[in-house]
Structure 1
Amino acid sequence: MRPSSDTAQDPCPMVSFVQIISGKWAIPILYRLIVTANPIRFSELQRAVHPITQKELTKQLRLFEQRHLVTRRVYPEVPPRVEYQITPLGQSLKPTLDSLADWMRQHQHDLTTDD
């Protein structure tokens, strides 16, 4: 628990988290990079997070680079080879994302809707 000096004006850490990890594909991309642990090529990552578009994957990876969650390495080859890897900061999200994945596995049947 935080000290009782917290007020309604204090920023909610969940709002900040959602701002950093926003977008439909953000968590699946990060989770794939975390469980892979090794450098992964763009095309492999796109297949692993199917059906994400190339444009959306590029956008998310750039944001993660800016936030120091992912590193990007370009090899001077023809055709160019680009690999992405989770950083130690990004890897520190593993327990949080593991718990979300576990929760989803346990409760996915409870969350179905009867449309």
Structure 2
Amino acid sequence: MSKIKETSTNYENKQTLSADCVEIYAATLISGQWTLAICCHLSYGKLRFGELRKRIPNITERMLTLQLRKLEENKLVKRTVYAQVPPKVEYELTKSGQQLRPILNQLEEWGKNHQQWQAE
């Protein structure tokens, strides 16, 4: 996963769109192939890295790490490290991340309906 260069036109366009349109800003925060899957699983409660990895079997460890860091940076996921041996780390949705639950439910309903319409 590469970052967009801050000097690129693409970066400037994304910044402008996000500043001008709150919907685009929100969509940018949850964009990405794995972001919604991670949020869906965390919406049921705290999970450790290995538990998330098992629930999303096709994601690589590197990609899961990168996505969790991005979600943490965007204040959607909280990472808690416990001082013990072996180290224990748990991930959970923040208050802001928990506000995604009804949106995820709506996306689920929309997805089901859209699949049915596509099959017709």
| Aligned counterpart, 1:30 | 39
Listed as ranges, the gaps of 5+ residues in structure 1 are 1-9
Q: Which has the higher contact order (CA 8 A, sep 6+)?
A: 1
| Aligned counterpart, 2:13 | none
Larger helix proportion, structure 1 or 2?
A: 2
Identical aligned residues as a percent? 40
1:46 equivalent to 2:53? Answer yes
Between Structure 1 and Structure 2, how many residues are aligned?
A: 101
| Aligned counterpart, 1:74 | 81
Code of the residue aligned with 2:114 in structure 1: it is H
Normalization by structure 1: what TM-score? 0.78
Stretches (4+) displaced over 4 A: none
Which structure: larger Rg?
A: 1
What is the root-mean-square deviation of aligned Cα atoms in Å? Answer: 1.7
Deviations 1:30-81 (A, max 9, x none): 11111x12x2111101111221111111111111111211111112222211
Local SS of the residue matching 2:20: coil
Q: What is the alpha-carbon distance in structure 1 between the residues aligned to residue 97 and residue 27 of structure 2?
A: 15
Local SS of the residue matching 1:68: coil
